[in-house]
């Protein structure tokens, strides 16, 4: 029982006890007073009647008349006139008055007995008769009953008023306790709340101050851990001059996106080289050359900003060389990007302090997942060499035989995907996510989609997702998969995780359809978590609203492929995320590359301070898993523990 209810009940019990005690004392006092009044009433009546009968004691008719007159004028149980000589009753009158609405149980409880009085009737100097009068207590009982009802009514009124005022007072006084409960619950949700207005009650004031200090301390520790992790990330993976990622980060992403076929997409690699960097240093000086490199980096960032999936994949590999990895980018988009960059670099050269025409050359190469990263780099470098030797055009495009032979026809893909979305020709595949220390224990299954072609073969998402996005059908695919997943959850008791794409998050109508489906399946909420890729995160306000809606519907939210924007973890702390999945590029060969381990350990400390579980993605070797276990990460996902497969 809550403290509020206990105090309120205590107040009510106190009022009842106080009333009962006051009523008993008042009743006993009134009872004694009424007994005296009844005795006095009987004695007065006896004396008065005896005096009246002195002159008429020998007249029986007059004696009877006077006795009847006295009896009818008051509350008497009986009046008797007894002859003293013979002890015979001369006149007797008796009656039982009505209860006057007084319940019998009250009469029995009070126990007020009749009171009597006597007087002598004289005949001269001789005692002739005795008058006996007994007063009935019913009128006194009626008064006591009315007094009890009045006291009870007053108690009820006082009780109601006291309960209302007490409840208001208690609620106001105990409000800081409710807020402290909310503070504690918020810490579990990775939020840090403080009570700005301290209560006036000294005891509660001290408790609230202590709670605020603890929350501020936790907030400071979390901020410190976050800043330390971000600083380590910058030192390890960011170029100090341009602010772009460095060669180490580029190599990580190149291996992750190119060498692995699973769930990755074909795309392009762009290499850019600033012309004659050594000569520029001699002619312009170090500061102006650095300013030029910064300007080139800014041009790359500005033109890649409209492609959310590649804006974090821009790197300065060395000296005057830059690289842009563009997974999922089609040929025409890549050519458009390189042409825009060519114009922007020409403008940069024309507006420089001296003639820098051309500023840089570019080599563009296409790739498909599964290629060797060195082969792709060689192809892009070859295109760059061609660009440096040709005429006015400052870029060159190269594609290997495999890419050229694919020849994905837009019309064919449009027809195929539209038919598949209309008729549900997508199959759900499931990849287990297990505890890092206990690989046999499954945390949940990640849901992936496969397109079933006319021959019945399953096509990986990396092949058809770029076309889905290009045609603007991401929301259609998300809704179709959600329907299949919700139906699938009704057939077993395992937990699943499903991805939501950025177009769905940005489409209010699509989100309304998502939540309408979720409202139809409230029982599976605890077993379905929605994941959002770091590169697809919406604005903070939109993300917070989504987290609140999912929580109210009983479902969870998590982030996947996390790591490139670790500085934003402070903004994510209060969303109540189920977990974070660390991008596989930070996990690959973590047992061999110490810089990755140092960074992930820093991330783990920051996440652990807010009780946020971490799961490693794309774990492929036992050495990687052992390091993950040593660092205390909760889960593992990757080919080491299981490839995506249909449900068994």
Report pLDDT digits (tens) over 552-584: 999 999 999 887 766 666 666 677 788 999 988
CA distance 190 to 183: 10
Q: What is the pLDDT of residues 416-458, one digit of tens each?
A: 899 899 888 899 999 999 999 888 899 999 999 998 877 777 8
Q: Would you tell me how many other CB atoms lie within 10 Å of the CB of residue 94?
A: 12
CA distance 8 to 579: 42
Angle at 408 between CA 406 and CA 410, to 5 degrees: 170
Q: Are 390 and 382 in contact (CB under 8 A)?
A: no
**Average of per-residue pLDDT across 488-504:** 92
CA distance 645 to 648: 8
Taking the complete model, does pTM exceed 0.95, yes or no?
Answer: no
Residue span(s) of the chain under CATH 3.30.70.270 come to: 247-406
Interior/surface letters 349-375, b for 16+ CB within 10 angstroms, e for the rest: beebeeebebbbbbbbbbbbbebebee
Q: Give DSSP secondary structure letters for 200-231.
A: SSHHHHHHHHHHHHHHHHHHHHHHHHHHHHHH
CA of residue 344 relative to chain centroid, distance: 47
Higher pLDDT, 139 or 249: 249
Helix%, strand%, coil% for the chain, nearest 5: 55, 20, 25
Half-sphere exposure of 374 (CA within 13 A, CB side): 0
The helix/strand/coil state of 629 is: helix
CA distance 111 to 33: 14
CA distance 546 to 507: 12
Tell me the backbone φ, ψ of residue 525, rounded to 5 degrees. -60, -40
Strands 556-562 and 580-582: parallel
Range list of H helices, 528-647 = 540-553, 569-572, 594-609, 622-631
Interior/surface letters 262-285, b for 16+ CB within 10 angstroms, e for the rest: bbbbbbbbbbbbbbebeebeeebe
DSSP 80: E
Tell me the backbone φ, ψ of residue 505, rounded to 5 degrees. -65, -30
For residue 456, the model assigns a pLDDT of 75
**Average of per-residue pLDDT across 221-242:** 78
**Average of per-residue pLDDT across 100-126:** 77
Q: Give DSSP secondary structure letters for 382-446.
A: HHHHHHHHSSS--EEEE--HHHHHH---HHHHHHHHHHHHHHT-EEEEEEEEEESS-TTSEEEEE
User: With 80 as the cut, is the pLDDT of residue 609 above it?
Assistant: no
Which residues make beta-bridge pairs with 179?
none
CA distance 337 to 314: 13
| CATH class for the domain made up of 3-160 | alpha beta
**Average of per-residue pLDDT across 369-385:** 86
Give residue 262's pLDDT band: very low, low, confident or very high (50, 70, 90).
low
Residue span(s) of the chain under CATH 3.20.20.450 come to: 410-637
**Average of per-residue pLDDT across 240-256:** 87
CA dihedral 613, 617, 623, 625 (to 10 degrees): 30
CA distance 158 to 167: 14
**Average of per-residue pLDDT across 495-514:** 92
Q: What is the CATH topology of the domain spanning 247-406? A: Alpha-Beta Plaits (3.30.70)
Which residues make beta-bridge pairs with 354?
none
Structure tokens at 86: 């013979």
For residue 357, the model assigns a pLDDT of 62
User: With 60 as the cut, is the pLDDT of residue 371 above it?
Assistant: yes
For residue 199, the model assigns a pLDDT of 67
Sequence-ordered list of residues with C-beta below 8 angstroms from that of 499, at least 6 positions apart, any chain: 447, 478, 530, 531, 532, 533, 560
The residue among 24, 65, 70 whose CA lies nearest residue 47 is 70
For residue 445, the model assigns a pLDDT of 95
| CATH class for the domain made up of 410-637 | alpha beta
CA distance 484 to 488: 6
The helix (run of H) or strand (run of E) holding residue 275 is none
For residue 513, the model assigns a pLDDT of 93
Cis amide prior to 297 (ω within 30 degrees): no
Distances (CA, A) of 572 to 216, 223, 386, 537, 558: 17, 12, 46, 11, 10
Q: Which of 40-44, 431-435, 548-552, 643-647 has the highest mean pLDDT?
A: 431-435
For residue 23, the model assigns a pLDDT of 72
CA distance 558 to 602: 20
**Average of per-residue pLDDT across 358-375:** 85
The helix/strand/coil state of 37 is: helix
Q: Are 383 and 364 in contact (CB under 8 A)?
A: yes
User: With 60 as the cut, is the pLDDT of residue 405 above it?
Assistant: no
Q: What is the pLDDT of residues 43-81, one digit of tens each?
A: 887 788 788 877 777 778 887 888 888 777 767 778 888
Residue span(s) of the chain under CATH 3.30.110.200 come to: 3-160
577: region left, alpha or beta (phi > 0 left; psi from -120 to 50 alpha): beta
For residue 263, the model assigns a pLDDT of 58
User: With 50 as the cut, is the pLDDT of residue 300 above it?
Assistant: yes
> Which of 99-108, 360-369, 535-544, 567-576 shows the lowest per-residue confidence on average (mean pLDDT)?
567-576
Tell me the backbone φ, ψ of residue 36, rounded to 5 degrees. -65, -40
Strands 395-398 and 267-274: unpaired
The helix/strand/coil state of 248 is: helix
CA of residue 244 relative to chain centroid, distance: 36
Structure tokens at 623: 């050495």
For the chain, the average pLDDT equals 82
Interior/surface letters 326-345, b for 16+ CB within 10 angstroms, e for the rest: bbbbbbebbeebbeebbebb
The helix/strand/coil state of 467 is: helix
**Average of per-residue pLDDT across 179-204:** 68
CA dihedral 385, 386, 389, 395 (to 10 degrees): -100
CA distance 235 to 221: 21
User: With 90 as the cut, is the pLDDT of residue 529 above it?
Assistant: yes
For residue 498, the model assigns a pLDDT of 95
Give residue 400's pLDDT band: very low, low, confident or very high (50, 70, 90).
low
> Which of 547-556, 568-577, 626-635 shows the lowest per-residue confidence on average (mean pLDDT)?
568-577
């Amino acid at each position: 029982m809550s403290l509020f209810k206990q105090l309120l009940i205590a107040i009510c019990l106190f009022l009842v006890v106080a009333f009962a005690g006051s009523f008993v004392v008042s009743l006993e006092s009134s009872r004694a007073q009424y007994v005296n009044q009844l005795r006095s009433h009987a004695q007065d009546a006896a004396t008065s009647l005896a005096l009246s009968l002195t002159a008429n004691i020998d007249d029986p008719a007059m004696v009877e008349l006077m006795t009847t007159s006295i009896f009818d004028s008051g509350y008497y149980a009986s009046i008797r006139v007894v002859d003293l000589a013979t002890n015979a009753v001369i006149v007797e009158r008796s009656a039982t008055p009505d209860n006057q609405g007084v319940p019998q149980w009250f009469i029995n409880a009070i126990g007020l007995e009749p009171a009597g009085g006597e007087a002598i009737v004289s005949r001269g100097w001789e005692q002739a008769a005795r008058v006996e009068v007994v007063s009935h207590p019913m009128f006194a009982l009626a008064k006591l009953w009315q007094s009890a009802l009045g006291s009870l009514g007053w108690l009820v009124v006082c009780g109601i008023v006291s309960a209302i005022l007490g409840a208001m007072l208690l609620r106001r006084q105990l409000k800081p306790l409710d807020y402290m409960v909310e503070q504690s619950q918020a810490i579990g949700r990775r939020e840090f709340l403080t009570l700005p207005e301290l209560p006036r009650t000294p005891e509660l004031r001290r408790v609230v101050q202590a709670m605020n200090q603890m929350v501020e301390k936790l907030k400071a520790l979390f901020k410190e851990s976050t800043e330390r992790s971000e600083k380590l990330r910058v030192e390890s993976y960011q170029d100090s001059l341009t602010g772009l990622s460095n060669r180490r980060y580029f190599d990580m992403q190149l291996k992750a996106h190119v060498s692995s076929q699973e769930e990755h997409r074909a795309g392009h690699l762009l290499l850019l080289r600033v012309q004659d960097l050594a000569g520029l240093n001699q002619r312009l000086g170090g500061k102006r050359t650095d300013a030029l490199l910064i300007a080139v980096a800014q041009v790359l960032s500005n033109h890649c900003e409209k492609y959310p999936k590649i804006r974090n994949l821009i790197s300065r590999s060395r000296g005057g060389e830059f690289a842009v990895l563009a997974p999922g980018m089609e040929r025409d988009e890549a050519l458009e990007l390189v042409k825009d960059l060519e114009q922007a670099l020409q403008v940069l050269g024309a507006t420089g302090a001296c003639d820098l025409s051309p500023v840089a050359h570019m080599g563009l190469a296409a790739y498909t997942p599964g290629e060797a990263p060195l082969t792709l780099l060689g192809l892009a470098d070859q295109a760059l060499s061609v660009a440096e030797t040709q005429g006015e055009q400052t870029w060159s495009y190269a594609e290997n035989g495999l890419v050229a032979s694919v020849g994905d026809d837009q019309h064919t893909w449009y027809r195929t995907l539209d038919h598949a979305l209309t008729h549900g020709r997508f199959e759900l595949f499931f990849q287990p996510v297990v505890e890092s220390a206990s690989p046999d224990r499954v945390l949940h299954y990640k849901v992936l989609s496969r397109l079933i072609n006319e021959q019945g073969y399953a096509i990986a998402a990396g092949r058809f997702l770029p076309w889905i996005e290009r045609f603007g059908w991401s929301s259609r695919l998300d809704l179709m998969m959600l329907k299949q997943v919700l139906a699938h959850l009704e057939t077993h008791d395992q937990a699943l995780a499903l991805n939501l794409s950025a177009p769905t998050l940005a489409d209010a109508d699509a989100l309304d359809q998502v939540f309408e489906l979720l409202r139809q399946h409230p029982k599976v909420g605890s077993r379905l978590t929605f994941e959002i890729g770091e590169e697809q995160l919406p604005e903070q306000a939109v993300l917070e609203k989504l987290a609140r809606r999912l929580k109210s519907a009983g479902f969870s939210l998590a982030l996947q492929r996390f790591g490139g924007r670790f500085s934003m973890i402070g903004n994510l702390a209060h969303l109540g995320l189920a977990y974070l999945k660390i991008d596989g590029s930070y996990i690959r060969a973590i047992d061999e590359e110490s810089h990755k381990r140092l960074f992930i350990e820093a991330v783990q400390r920051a996440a652990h301070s807010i009780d946020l579980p971490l799961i490693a993605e794309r774990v492929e070797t036992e050495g990687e898993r052992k390091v993950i276990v040593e660092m205390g990460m909760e889960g593992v996902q990757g080919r080491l523990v299981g490839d995506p497969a249909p449900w068994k």
